Amino acid sequence: MWAGRILITAENERWALTGAQTTTGFAASIIMSPAEAGVEGTLSPDKTPDGRPGALIQIYHRTRRDLKTQMILRIGQCIMTCPTTTAFDALPKAKRRLKVGRSLRLFGDGFQKRDEMYGRKVWRIPVMEGEFVVEDSFGAMRAVAGGNFLIMAESQKAGLQAAEEAVDAINKRSKYAVLTFPGGICRAGSKAGSMKYKLKASTFHSYCPKLKALVPDSKVPENVNSVYEIVINGLDLDAVKKAMAEGIRATVKVPGILKISAGNYGGKLGPFKAHLKEVFESE
């Protein structure tokens, strides 16, 4: 997929994260969401262009055109409206550029001003609070979406605890990767298509513990009663592999975790492969 990366700065970390969390809403999976997006992490003031606390987010889509549309909509609705925020491009080396700020400038209704601040070309758009500063263009690059692993547990309690540990480990120790599902965890993994209806995706019946006695192709061991999926997007395959390794390492420490697997969709999900036993070699 194509990815954009945005640095949101604000008067304090609260508002930087508020802007980040709002902008990445309704973006769990491209199957039914208008985009895939997640919060990558925070930056201290000494690492941002304007010396204020920052938060990094990533937004993904199948095409550059659709990515540009989503970035314009989300920055315009969720960052420009958020108190004290500024939106900077966080992929300055990307060759492909999307004219996002240039499109958003029109909100200024003719009162907007082009400027150069912090060594970047920006638009200063008047808003009721003061002004919203947004970079003129944002980078876009080919990235990797859909890295995943499945946590098979003897109980929902054990599975959820392990999934939470995996999310915490990935967020703390991984770079350039995001988790797009609620709290980083998906409880309703899907397969491509449907056996009964005309759908893009449907419940991953082979990995539903409640169905293991009803379907002939169940892959759920007899003593597994709950399965959670961790889905990872990253700026490159190495970022996805490292995040997978961190998550799996944290997961298996939890009592009651019986097996780690993954959905590979017959190897047809995309050109990239991240074999579970090999992800640790990427570190």
Q: Please, what are the domains in the chain?
A: 2-142 (3.30.70.520), 144-282 (3.30.70.520)
Q: For all residues of the chain together, what is the average pLDDT?
A: 95
pLDDT over 70 at 282, yes or no: no
| Tokens at 68, concatenated | 């540009």
Give the residue-averaged pLDDT of 260-277. Answer: 82
> How does residue 283 score in pLDDT terms, banded at 50, 70 and 90?
low
Q: Is 135 helix (H, G, I), strand (E, B) or coil?
A: strand
DSSP state of 18: H
Identify the H or E element spanning 74.
Answer: helix 64-74
Which token pair is 171?
Answer: 């967020």
Phi, psi of 124 (to 5 degrees): -105, 110
Is this model's pTM higher than 0.75 or not? yes
CA dist., res. 89 & res. 202, Å (int): 36
- Binned at pLDDT 50, 70 and 90, residue 180 comes out as very high
User: Which of 19-33, 110-124, 255-269 shows the lowest mean pLDDT across its residues?
Assistant: 255-269
Query: How far, in Å, are 147, 219, 260, 279 from residue 273 at the CA level?
Result: 8, 20, 17, 10
At 91, list the tokens: 């992929």
